[in-house]
Amino acid sequence: MAASGRSRVGGRDVTCIRFITTENYSKAIQQLKARFDRKDLLVQIYMRDLLSLVLKNAIDGKNSPDLATLYDMFETKLRALESLGRTKEKFADFMEPLVESCLPESALRAWERGRISGFTDDSTSQRSL
């Protein structure tokens, strides 16, 4: 297992595992995690990626990706954030307007109609109770 770990690293991380043995393997892993397992930085990177999707879509306008591609791009970043403990519920308040700003106007209208009819359905179902 130590040999397979060695083959995947390079540069300054090699110094952490240069003299790895069975006895000090866990210490080397801890040292690598302390140096390179920066979840806070990954969260920042994914959030910047989401913001860049919004900005790129605002600039590109009609040349922006289709709705399915936008969905896939957002979903990929959101899953990555969730794997880092940042659930959708924690940032839903500002994420929804970001997503809305990426939608083509026709999709945004359809989304709004769906939200409005959803509110109507909820009120109707509450009255029936």
Give pLDDT tens digits for 41-82: 999 999 999 888 888 877 776 677 787 888 888 889 889 999
Per residue in 79-107, pLDDT (tens digit) is: 999 999 888 788 778 878 877 777 777 77
- CA gap 104, 57 in Å, rounded: 9
Q: Using a cut of 0.85, tell me whether the model's pTM lies above it.
A: no
